């Protein structure tokens, strides 16, 4: 399957840790890439590959992967982290695919 | 710093062809490590990859749009163009242009940067 599935909504208390997951067969061959999108704005690259945080992204963002599940973790979530998060990858047919998206709410 | 900006009509009539241009500034389009392409997002919806093209002409299109879409790159002008034929209301979306870096042997890719996006409404 070329689909990437994410939980629709995740909530986290200010300063606590939240994990956003992404599941799909395409993750067998490619690391998930993660994007953050705030209302009315274009997506912003957050994390790619096994270890690479994008330029300007705080180190409270980290990522991990195992077989068909990838995770983006925010350790010590801040109010400004409230946004939609999308994973992406490449499927076995060579098409670029995005996850269904997760809305993170910081309480 | 590389910047991308979309331009084009915000309203397209059903059955007509949507045409958008992305202007690239702050960098070259001729680096063979990158592809140039389009992603769209319907109002309140998720992201959908439309297609990508290298400056040398290699093209990759989403299977669901392949019969209707074409992307053209003009590196000399620092621009690339999206054409989507026979549009319907389902093509109403924010359209983003973006640069793609793809590293198969490393198993990763990314789209970065993104343009600000342009809303295209398909309506009569």
Alpha carbons B124 and B122: distance in angstroms, whole number: 7
- pLDDT, one tens digit per residue, over B22-48 is 999 999 898 888 999 999 999 999 999
Q: Which of A37, A86, A88, A96 to mutate to test the interface with B (most CBs of B within 10 A)?
A: A96
**Rounded-to-integer distance, Cα B80 and Cα B53, Å:** 9
Instruction: Tell me which chain A residue has its CA closest to the CA of residue B63.
Output: A95
Answer yes or no: do B108 and A49 touch at CB < 8 A: yes
Contact between B107 and B114 (Cβ < 8 Å): no
d(CA B118, CA B124): 19
**A20, A100 in Cβ contact below 8 A?**
no
Burial B45-66 (b: 16+ CB within 10 A, else e): ebbbbbbbbbbeeebbbbeebe
Least CB–CB distance from A98: residue in B46, B100, B117 = B46
B78-90 pLDDT, tens per residue?
999 999 999 999 9
Best probe of the A interface among B47, B49, B63, B118, by most A CBs < 10 A, is B47
A36-86 per-position pLDDT tens digit: 999 999 999 999 998 899 999 999 999 999 889 999 999 999 999 999 999
């Amino acid at each position: 399957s070329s689909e990437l599935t994410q939980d629709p909504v995740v909530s986290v208390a200010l300063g606590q840790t939240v994990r956003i997951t992404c599941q799909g067969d395409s993750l067998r061959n490619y690391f998930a890439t993660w994007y953050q999108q705030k209302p009315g704005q274009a997506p912003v690259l957050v994390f790619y590959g096994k270890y690479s945080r994008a330029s300007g992204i705080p180190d409270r963002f980290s990522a991990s992967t195992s077989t068909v599940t990838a995770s983006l973790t925010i350790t010590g979530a801040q109010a400004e982290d409230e946004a939609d998060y999308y994973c992406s990858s490449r499927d076995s047919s060579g098409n670029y695919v995005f996850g269904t998206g997760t809305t993170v709410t910081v309480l | 710093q590389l910047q991308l900006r979309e331009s084009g009509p915000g309203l397209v009539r059903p059955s007509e062809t949507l045409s958008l241009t992305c202007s690239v500034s702050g960098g070259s389009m001729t680096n063979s490590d990158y592809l140039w392409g389009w992603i769209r997002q319907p109002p309140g919806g998720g992201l959908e990859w439309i297609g990508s093209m290298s400056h040398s002409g290699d093209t990759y299109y989403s299977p669901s749009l392949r019969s209707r879409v074409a992307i053209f790159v003009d590196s000399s002008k620092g621009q690339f163009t999206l054409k989507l034929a026979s549009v319907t209301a389902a093509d109403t979306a924010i359209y983003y242009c973006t640069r793609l870096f793809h590293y198969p042997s490393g198993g990763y890719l990314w789209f970065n940067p993104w343009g600000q996006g342009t809303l295209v409404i398909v309506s009569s």
